Amino acid sequence: MIYRETGQFKTTYASDVQLFPIVQDRVVVIAFLAFAFCVVPFVASDYLFRAILTPFLILSLAALGLNILVGYCGQLSLGTGGFMAVGAYAAYNLAVRMPDLNLIVVLVLAGLCSTVVGALFGIPSLRIKGFYLAVTTLAAQFFLDWLFARVGWFTNYSSSGSVAAPPLALFGWHVEGPVRKYLFVLSIVCVLALLAKNLTRGAIGRSWMAIRDMDVAAEVIGIRPLHAKLTAFAVSSFYVGLAGALWAFVYLGAWEPLAFDVNRSFELLFMVIIGGLGSILGSFLGAAFIVILPIALNRLPAALGIPLSTATVSEIELMVFGALIVFFLIAEPRGLARLWAIGKEKLRLWPFPH
């Protein structure tokens, strides 16, 4: 009853195809963004920023990238951790070797480096499909892992292989402290999420979805598979690389190649599947789920007053994680985004039953 479109007439094509055609949607989104930008910096605790919000935002950006590849274009990729590493090390090298570059330029260039690498490793997708492709993307993952551990140039010849991000500053505004880092990452994620949403609504997104659904039919009607798949890999790697650079610079501060290993790839894939394949909102929901779940599981025994050793808590975490994944897949294989969509559908009728 509240959430209905009656009375909202569109008089131009532009207003018809806008991002949030229903007024209520627009209001909620704007209110939510206002809350995130203006209220949260003042009310949330340091811990909430450092340990939950900032990693959630960065990982949702990476999940967004992976969703474009897996959800919209149907190319299963397990090499996401490696592409994050490319972005992180590219940003590091740019920042260290050209210290006068603007931070945004560094991040964008790092994303572009990752784009090139991603497109390169995406070339086999023209011949290889399905699980075979997934396993070959693992080649990218392990190769990149090795590359950053072995070739000294990437780590500026640091003897330990561990590198540290330089202090971040944007036009004199130092990105230090939990609140500033949060706002910085939030702005970047908002811009990029908008970009992703529009990409997927446009011609290029439609070509991706066509390839995903029936690639032979798509080719028959004139969509070039080479173009579609490589652009999917390229755009996806841009997002993932940029997220990797943010992860390294803003969240970790100092890192080594193991920070981007194959477990990271699986974690991102979980986010995308649980959040919902082929949905921008799904990437965010999935990321929130995966970021919050281990922390919640860790604190729950203490909160409930049951004393358990850290080892047991860790193992229970693993078990619950695995069980929840299976549970989610059975209950709603299309992910949390689908649940959200169902909820919205019900809201349109509420409180009427039909």
Subset of residues 213 to 242 that bind other proteins, contact rule: CB under 8 A:
214-217, 220
Closest CA to 243 of 74, 59, 89: 59
Is the preceding peptide bond at 301 cis, omega within 30 degrees of 0? Answer: no
* 20 versus 173: smaller Cβ distance to other proteins: 173
Site for other proteins in 71-130 (CB under 8 A): 76, 96, 124, 127-130
Min separation Cβ 21 and other proteins, Å: 25
> Mask: binding to other proteins, 168-207, rule CB under 8 A, as x and -?
----------------------------------------
Does 350 bind other proteins (CB under 8 A)? Our answer is no
- Answer for which of 256, 281, 341, 347 binds other proteins (CB under 8 A) is 256
Within residues 272-291, the interface with other proteins by CB under 8 A covers 273, 277, 289
Binding to other proteins by residue 40, rule CB under 8 A? no
- What's the gap between Cα 239 and its chain centre? 7
Residue 149 binding other proteins, by CB under 8 A? yes
Tell me: does residue 135 bind other proteins (CB under 8 A).
Answer: yes
3-state SS string for 89-132: HHHHHHHHHCCCCCHHHHHHHHHHHHHHHHHHHHHHHHCCCHHH
CA distance 86 to 59: 15
Least distance in angstroms from the C-beta of 92 to other proteins: 11
Please tell me whether residue 64 adopts helix, strand or coil conformation. Answer: helix
* Residue 5 C-beta: closest distance to other proteins, Å: 23
160 binds other proteins (CB under 8 A): yes
Nearer to other proteins, 21 or 322 (CB): 322
255 is a site residue for other proteins (CB under 8 A): yes
Largest Cα span, the chain: 68
Which residue has 């274009």 as its token pair? 73
Task: Based on the shown chain and the rule CB under 8 A, indicate whether residue 333 belongs to the binding site for other proteins.
Answer: yes
Residue 24 near other proteins by CB under 8 A? no
Show the CA angle centred on residue 163, arms to residues 158 and 168, nearest 5°.
135
Selected binder of other proteins within 310, 351, 353, 354 (CB under 8 A): 310
Q: How far is the CB of 199 from other proteins (least distance, A)?
A: 22
Strands (E), 119-264: 163-164, 169-170, 173-174, 254-255
Determine which helix (DSSP H) or strand (DSSP E) holds 197, and give its type and residue range. Answer: helix 177-201
- In total, the chain counts a number of residues equal to 354
When binding is defined by CB under 8 A, the residue of 5, 16, 213, 315 that contacts other proteins is 315
DSSP-derived 3-state class of residue 288: helix
